[in-house]
Structure 1
């Protein structure tokens, strides 16, 4: 991945791999810009793929967790590729526009996804391609995002996941809110015009904000990143992806049996929670750090951030049995689960399904 031209802006400090700005000198102020104004975030490290071809939607429908065969022009969504056992392998954010399905995915995962899609083409009329070298993603976040887009002569799609084409190539896609309700919009731009498009948005009123600020609001919104907030055992039912990236009335895709079975029983083995840490250490725990209750390991940390209002918080996958008021530790820090992340209550139908399974296992089901 080549370094972004936005690293030449004043105060820019790169992320660890040197690809995009982590911050511009004041990460907490940049978070406030996203929460209260309009911040421009360089996310051009994300991989971008295109899938043109007459069979693209029915083909992607058959491969992923999402209902895609009727995805309308100018619409977007999220989707997952699962292993045969239902474990999450790829998370795709999609946009359907002008006869092409676009997907942006985690940095560094695009080649593996393209290779998988190539193997699944068979005789279908689809041509998946990795186009990260030609296209780049920016995000505009904050309650003033719409004003900035209007001042820049760009459209604001009316609802989350709606997509609108932009002059000169690319598109604008509205996303679900970040943080405590901040508007979020993704902009796909030609990579050769990344600096110019970013400058136009800055002139329209956007404040440059680094990836650290974006990550803080993402964590607050409980939106996971694959490979950071998940591990090789993660199933969609343990995360918010079950509502954003899975169509529960759809069958016949790889891993679907696991998703349906766990959903019907109503109790996945783990759940994604927001964890508050004491913040006494200058060093933040790394993704994968164990979460413990006494001497017992009960989960793993994902992304940990310093939030401008919440302090040190992180996403964690914890066992379903862990109570919300449990006294936890992670990386030497005391930790507590956010009270909003209590385990979901079972409805009557799921409780009945679970009772039936228990009865089968104990050979006491009524005859």
Structure 2
């Protein structure tokens, strides 16, 4: 008699992402979750273009609670992080922060971290869905050092208050307001951090780390102090305008720091050896990375925006890849793209069937006449007078 067969092992059913309590606010429309993100926030609250104006003229409350959060206590934490990341954090002062990268041996970006040092713990927040991978890497690199990296996304969450009125609103809510970028101030059990501004007008960005159980209550305090609910799409529009990249969206598996502004914000060019440093130093000394990040203006004819990773074409030849694509309240449809260094500033480009033009300020040491041609092309693309 044939022995009974054991049932085939079943893969665990994927867990549904957890909605943020801020999705209970009137008009909230959730963002479409991609990848391994475990949290859902609002894409907008009914009027995404008006919400962009809130960020440029007032103070918007932006739900950042979908980001993953790690905490690294331990006496060796700073020297350890210094040795395995691209940033000089060995003497990071209490109440300060930075950005850092984890690179592959060949210099490709594997993780992007926003770091805050406070009260004997180094905090790192990263893109939604990437925290588990970073935590696994940090665990492998512990060796015998006195560090205890923890993935604490279930316990801690980020909120943002963005706009020229953000400092006034945060102060009115009884919270501290750091004066300079990357400065961190204690606030209850968590902290408030000031980040570099976004948008062409330089909207102030203040980020709050709060216990996840207090997320709704903290949001209520900020709303009572004058902040207005603002979806992630509004924040993304200003981020793209400011040319601030997102890991995994505006980067791919081939990205090196030299291709993005991370070379200036997340890399210390004079620190000691770290994984991938040889590539960063060699390309920096040669002064010509294989690609550059540019702002593209698209004609906006199609209702469907190109997806991250869609090729940028010059004729029929792929010359780059698009990342974040947004509808901006003043600039129309704009995108961040990595394009080859050889692409001319005034090149005729297409993305997903839409005509595209490189912003005149994003050329590689362009001459004035080339910038003029690029401006003419951008105007033609936005007005729909170019084929």
What is aligned with 1:323?
344
1:254 corresponds to which of 259, 275, 278 = 275
Deviations 1:118-147 (CA, angstroms, capped at 9, x unpaired):
010000000000000000001111000011
Q: Distance in 2 between matches of 1:237 and 1:274?
A: 17
Q: CA deviation at 1:2?
A: 1.5
What is aligned with 1:298?
319
Q: Distance in 2 between matches of 1:196 and 1:202?
A: 10
1:171 corresponds to which of 177, 191, 203 = 191
What is aligned with 2:65?
44
Matches within 5 A, 1:212-231: 212-231=233-252
1:95 maps to 2:100: no
1:11 maps to 2:11: no
What is aligned with 2:381?
none
What is aligned with 1:22?
43
Q: Distance in 2 between matches of 1:133 and 1:297?
A: 41
When the two structures are superposed, what TM-score results if normalisation uses the length of structure 2? 0.88
Q: Distance in 1 between matches of 2:225 and 2:334?
A: 32
1:279 corresponds to which of 300, 313, 316 = 300
Q: Distance in 2 between matches of 1:146 and 1:117?
A: 35
Count of aligned residue pairs for this structure pair: 344
Matches within 5 A, 1:73-222: 73-167=94-188, 169-180=189-200, 181-222=202-243
2:80 corresponds to which of 59, 63, 67 = 59
Q: CA RMSD for the aligned pairs?
A: 0.8
Deviations 1:182-216 (CA, angstroms, capped at 9, x unpaired):
11111101100000000000000001100100110
Q: Distance in 2 between matches of 1:75 and 1:35?
A: 26
Give secondary structure in 1 for the equivalent of 2:40. coil
Q: CA deviation at 1:344?
A: 4.2
Which runs of 5 or more structure 1 residues have no equivalent in the other structure? 346-367
Give secondary structure in 2 for the equivalent of 1:81. strand
Q: Distance in 1 between matches of 2:290 and 2:365?
A: 13
Give secondary structure in 2 for the equivalent of 1:137. strand
What is aligned with 2:7?
none
Matches within 5 A, 1:229-240: 229-240=250-261
Q: CA deviation at 1:251?
A: 2.7
Displaced runs of 4 or more, over 6 A:
none
Q: Distance in 1 between matches of 2:84 and 2:170?
A: 35
Which runs of 5 or more structure 2 residues have no equivalent in the other structure? 1-16, 34-38, 367-387
Q: Distance in 1 between matches of 2:46 and 2:177?
A: 30
1:2 maps to 2:18: yes
Q: CA deviation at 1:158?
A: 1.1
Q: Distance in 2 between matches of 1:2 and 1:73?
A: 33
What is aligned with 1:361?
none
1:312 corresponds to which of 333, 344, 362 = 333
